[in-house]
């Protein structure tokens, strides 16, 4: 095996993308490359303390900046882009969460339109301790405080959409984007169907941790130092983003209402499982029905996202994508040993 290229990508403020699609690549890399990159938080770093209200310090549509796009040489529509997360490390010792007017699962929004005044806009600042692996929640009213485990992840990972569309980075969909699932952590490989030459990968929206559903609309948002390995499978584009961890096959679906996000993710997992195990469609439906997990990813974004998970131990010796996840794990391990 040749040594992989190692590319460093640190955007300047003007480099950030706020859409998937509609932009030329910042850089083009070869399949197999390792990319060391940095990401800004979803507020563009403008919210630094509890007095910084997002609706005042952020300017729509300059929200949720994404690092990229990165073109992958040779990627063509119909191919499959694999993105393996080697490391995701908070770049600051603090993170921010907030409510935001008309955004979140338990509030009226611009589409779930109601006559209520917005909920209070409130900011929480978390202390992040990377060494201890914790972040600290402090109530704004009263003095309650508690440590939560760090579980760094990226909310936004995706490629240029199909049909020439350009979508805001806060929208999750068939192209990936703002899936906001805690499964997108180090050790996971994400697979995206390619719709534009070069695929045009973007990564952003780091979360020090996130509950399932991202109920209030934001996670513990922070800047990240992240390393990924990218690789290319010719053909085989999945209709919706897939993830693979050491233990699970994971399908995603992003739509409204939430049952459609569920249906998409389950339909894809049934199809994927059936293809891997040589099961007919109903047998795969049955197996996934009894063995699968189905947590919410986000129930706050412009589409909602559900994930569908199957334990890989059910696969026996069968490997998805011919074992690519294991090979990317090995590449990652070698990189971490030798840097």
Interface of this chain with a copy of itself, residues 250 to 289, rule: CB under 8 A: 253, 255-260, 262-264, 266-268, 270, 277-283, 285-289
Write down the least CB distance from residue 21 to a copy of itself, Å.
7
Q: Shortest gap between Cβ of 233 and a copy of itself (angstroms)?
A: 22
Helix (H) or strand (E) holding 210: none
Is residue 220 part of the contact set for a copy of itself (CB under 8 A)? yes
Q: CA angle 200-201-206, nearest 5°?
A: 150
Segment contacting a copy of itself by CB under 8 A, of 47-55, 67-75, 161-169, 322-330: 161-169
The least CB distance from residue 204 to a copy of itself, in Å, is 15
Q: Which of 27, 28, 101, 124 binds a copy of itself (CB under 8 A)?
A: 124
Query: For the window 301-320, what string marks contact with a copy of itself as x by the rule CB under 8 A?
Result: ---x-x-x-----x-x----
Among the listed residues 7, 215, 233, 334, the single contact to a copy of itself using CB under 8 A = 215
Q: Rounded to an integer, what distance in angstroms lies between the CA atom of residue 332 and that of residue 326? A: 10
CA dist list (Å): 151 to 36, 93, 187, 207, 223 = 19, 14, 12, 8, 14
Q: Which one among 99, 156, 189, 331 touches a copy of itself, defined by CB under 8 A?
A: 99
Cβ proximity to a copy of itself, 87 vs 121, nearer residue: 121
Which class for 1: exposed (0-12), middle (13-18), buried (19 or more C-beta within 10 A)? exposed
> Within 13 Å and on the Cβ side, how many CA atoms surround 180?
32
Confirm or reject binding of residue 211 to a copy of itself (CB under 8 A). Answer: yes
Q: Binding to a copy of itself by residue 155, rule CB under 8 A?
A: no
Q: Would you give the DSSP letter of residue 66?
A: E
Bridging pattern class, strands 34-39 and 6-9: parallel
């Amino acid at each position: 095996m040749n040594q992989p290229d190692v590319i460093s990508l640190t955007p300047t403020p003007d480099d950030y993308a706020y859409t998937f699609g509609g932009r030329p690549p910042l850089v083009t890399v070869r399949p197999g490359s390792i990319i060391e990159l940095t990401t800004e938080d979803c507020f563009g770093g403008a919210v630094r303390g509890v007095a910084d209200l997002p609706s005042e310090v952020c300017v729509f549509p300059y929200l949720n900046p994404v690092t990229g796009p990165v073109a992958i040489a040779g990627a063509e529509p119909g191919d499959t882009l694999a993105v393996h997360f080697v490391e995701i490390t908070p770049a600051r010792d603090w993170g921010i969460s907030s409510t935001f007017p008309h955004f979140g699962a338990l509030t009226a929004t611009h589409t779930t339109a109601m006559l209520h005044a917005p909920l209070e806009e409130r900011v929480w600042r978390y202390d992040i301790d990377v060494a201890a692996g914790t972040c600290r929640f402090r109530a704004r009213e009263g003095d309650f405080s508690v440590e939560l485990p760090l579980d760094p992840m990226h909310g936004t990972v995706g490629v240029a959409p199909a049909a020439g569309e350009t979508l805001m980075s806060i929208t999750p969909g068939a192209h990936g984007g703002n899936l906001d699932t805690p499964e997108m952590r180090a050790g996971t490989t994400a697979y995206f169907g390619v719709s534009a030459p070069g695929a045009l990968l973007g990564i952003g929206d780091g979360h020090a941790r996130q509950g399932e559903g991202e109920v209030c609309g934001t996670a513990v948002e922070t800047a990240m130092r992240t390393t990924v390995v990218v690789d290319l499978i010719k053909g085989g584009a999945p209709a919706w983003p897939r993830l693979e961890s050491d233990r699970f096959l994971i399908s995603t679906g992003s739509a409204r209402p939430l049952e459609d996000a569920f249906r998409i993710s389950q339909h894809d997992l049934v199809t994927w499982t059936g293809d891997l195990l040589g099961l007919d469609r109903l047998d795969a439906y049955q197996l996934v029905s009894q063995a699968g997990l189905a947590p919410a990813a986000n129930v706050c974004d412009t589409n909602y996202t559900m994930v569908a998970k199957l334990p890989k131990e059910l696969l026996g010796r069968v490997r998805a994508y011919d074992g690519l996840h294991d090979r990317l794990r090995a590449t990652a391990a070698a990189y971490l040993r030798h840097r």
